[in-house]
């Protein structure tokens, strides 16, 4: 019985988070209410507040879920391949694929980032998640260095530079899909990264 209740709670939380995601993507971080989320989820305001104490709690949970999906996509793609070069290509593609499949992901993330200067909780969680994502890139770079495929570079700095370039590519395209062909730019990113890393 306890397991079924826990499953029901998680299902209801997911229902609320999906509604919050849609509401924020359409209205923006500062322009929505708990009532908006409740309406989108088909619940009462009290039903939402039963699972989350505040608007901020919903947003924090949503932020974690967004990053978790990106991180899972990165790991799943990277694990398919053996060589560091193929893993790095897969990782870059995963960021671009996230933008193409669900452009609202990055729109919502940018809304969250705008809260970092005024919300210590969001800043802390964002920093932890960003570190986890960067560490996956660093791990692939270190693997390539150990195998003698990549040059001996500062893998921490390189990981931050790569994530900045690729995420910005995805974000800019999300805001204006007529700006450039994202597949061409993704290939250019791959070329630049591998030119920098490969011996």
Q: What is the mean pLDDT of residues 126-149?
A: 91
CATH topology classification for 55-197 = Tetracycline Repressor; domain 2 (1.10.357)
In the predicted structure, residue 104 carries a pLDDT above the cut 80: no
Domain spans of the chain, in order of start: 1-53, 55-197
Q: What is the pTM of this model?
A: 0.78
Report DSSP letters for 48-95, one per residue. Answer: HHHH-SSHHHHHHHHHHHHHHHHHHHHHHHHHT-SSHHHHHHHHHHHH
Residue-averaged pLDDT of the chain: 86
In the predicted structure, residue 132 carries a pLDDT above the cut 60: yes
Q: What is the mean pLDDT of residues 4-30?
A: 81
d(CA 129, CA 198): 27
Q: Which structure tokens are listed for 91?
A: 């990782």
At residue 3, the pLDDT reads: 61
Render pLDDT for 40-89 as a digit per residue (tens, 0 to 9): 989 899 988 988 888 888 888 887 877 777 777 777 777 788 899 999 99
What top-level class would CATH report for the domain 1-53?
A: mainly alpha
DSSP code for 32: -
Render pLDDT for 21-36 as a digit per residue (tens, 0 to 9): 888 878 877 788 889 9
Q: How many residues does the chain have?
A: 199
Render pLDDT for 143-157 as a digit per residue (tens, 0 to 9): 999 999 999 999 999
CB atoms within 10 A of CB 145: 18
Q: Are 23 and 40 in contact (CB under 8 A)?
A: yes
Q: Are 172 and 95 in contact (CB under 8 A)?
A: no
């Amino acid at each position: 019985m306890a397991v079924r209740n826990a499953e029901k709670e998680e299902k209801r939380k997911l229902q609320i988070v999906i509604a919050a995601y849609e509401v924020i993507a359409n209205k923006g971080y500062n322009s929505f209410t708990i009532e908006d989320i409740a309406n989108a989820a088909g619940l009462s305001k009290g039903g939402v507040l039963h699972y989350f104490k505040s608007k901020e709690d919903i947003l924090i949970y949503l932020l974690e879920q967004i990053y978790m999906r990106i991180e899972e996509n990165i790991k799943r793609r990277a694990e398919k391949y053996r060589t560091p070069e193929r893993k790095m290509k897969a990782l870059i593609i995963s960021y671009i694929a996230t933008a193409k499949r669900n452009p609202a992901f990055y729109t919502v993330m940018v809304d969250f980032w705008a809260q970092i200067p005024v919300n210590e909780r969001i800043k802390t969680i964002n920093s932890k998640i960003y570190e986890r994502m960067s560490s996956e890139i660093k791990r692939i770079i270190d693997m390539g260095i150990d195998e003698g495929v990549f040059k001996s570079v500062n893998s921490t700095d390189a990981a931050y530079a790569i994530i900045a370039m690729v995420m910005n590519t995805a974000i800019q395209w999300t805001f204006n899909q007529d700006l450039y062909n994202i597949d061409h730019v993704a290939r250019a990113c791959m070329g630049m990264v591998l030119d920098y890393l490969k011996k």
